[in-house]
Amino acid sequence: MQKLEHAIPALVLLFLGLSTLKEGASGLGLAVAIAEIVSSVLLLVAMARAAHRLRRPHPSATSHAHGVDWIDIFAATMLGVEALEKWQTHHHLARPTIMTALVLLIFGIFHSRIVAKRERRRTLRISDAGLYVGGRPFRGLHAAWTDIESIEVDERWARVRTRSGQERRLDLADLENPAAIRDALEAARARAVQSGGV
């Protein structure tokens, strides 16, 4: 839904390109009009495909996307064409538009890495060394088994507290697989007791 904000500028640029073609543009004006039409259509098609996938997800689809984000890449292309059109018609270098296009292009290209990093922050990891409960940047909890003071799990909440006073609370109702997380934390509590923690 956040990507829908690109649809209105895409439609505006599409109609601008079509009207320029109807006026009989030539040379650079014709090239810019064609670029406006192509970039707008590519963005609108990418958005339609994404909306279709959301309505009917493939059975093997996971909760996260892989690869590049074509909507951001086509939005960046469209903004680049818009900046070119401003240069061609007004001889004005649209710096904010160019900067936005570059940022969208970077986000589009590195989409899978950004999503993977975000997902790593939101994980629960249990290893021989201890327990990691993810969270916002600099708010994750790393604890060796002997450093864990308590692990409490009820129907709605899970709380992990360390001997140093650090605490991480999880709202199980807000997670995708609360039963598996509850079971993993129960196993973690048993392991902490066995290691001399809790």
**Residue 152 pLDDT exceeds 60:** yes
* Lookup: tokens for 195: 């290691």
Best-predicted range by mean pLDDT (70-74, 126-130, 190-194)? 70-74
Of 119, 148, 163, which marks where a domain is finished?
119
Of 8-12, 132-136, 150-154, 176-180, the range with the lowest mean pLDDT is 132-136
Does residue 52 sit in the same domain as residue 126?
no
Same domain, 92 and 166: no
The reply to whether 28 and 73 lie within a common domain is: yes
Enclosing domain of residue 64:
2-119
Residues 148 and 186 reside in one and the same domain: yes
The reply to whether 99 and 133 lie within a common domain is no
pLDDT average, residue stretch 150-165: 89
The CA dihedral of 142, 147, 150, 152, to the nearest 10 degrees, is: 20
Contact 69, 107 (CB under 8 A): yes
Q: What percent of the chain shows pLDDT beyond 90?
A: 23
Are residues 104 and 136 both part of a single domain?
no
User: DSSP label at 165?
Assistant: S
Domain match, 168 and 136 both: yes
Look up residue 44 and give its two tokens.
């609108």
Number of domains observed in the structure of the chain: 2
Phi then psi dihedrals of residue 172, to 5 deg = -65, -30
| Residues 115, 138 within the same domain | no
Q: What are the residues whose beta carbons fall under 8 Å from the beta carbon of 176, sequence distance 6 or more?
A: 63
- Note whether 72 and 164 are same-domain residues: no
Mean pLDDT of 108-135: 80
Regarding whether 142 and 55 lie in a shared domain, the answer is no
N-term to C-term CA, the chain: 44
Across the beta sheet with 157-162, the strand order is: 148-153, 157-162, 167-171
Same domain, 32 and 101: yes
93 and 147, same domain (yes or no): no
pLDDT digits (tens, 9 = 90+) for 10-31: 899 899 889 988 998 888 888 9
pLDDT bucket at 63, cuts 50 / 70 / 90: very low
What letter does residue 123 receive in the DSSP assignment? -
Q: Indicate the average pLDDT of the chain.
A: 84
Domain end (from 65, 98, 119): 119
Backbone phi and psi for residue 117, each to the nearest 5 degrees, phi listed first = -65, -40
CATH of the domain at 188: 2.30.29
Domain boundary among 85, 101, 119: 119
Look at residue 1 in the predicted model and tell me its pLDDT. 58
Q: Residue 120's pLDDT band (boundaries 50, 70, 90)?
A: low
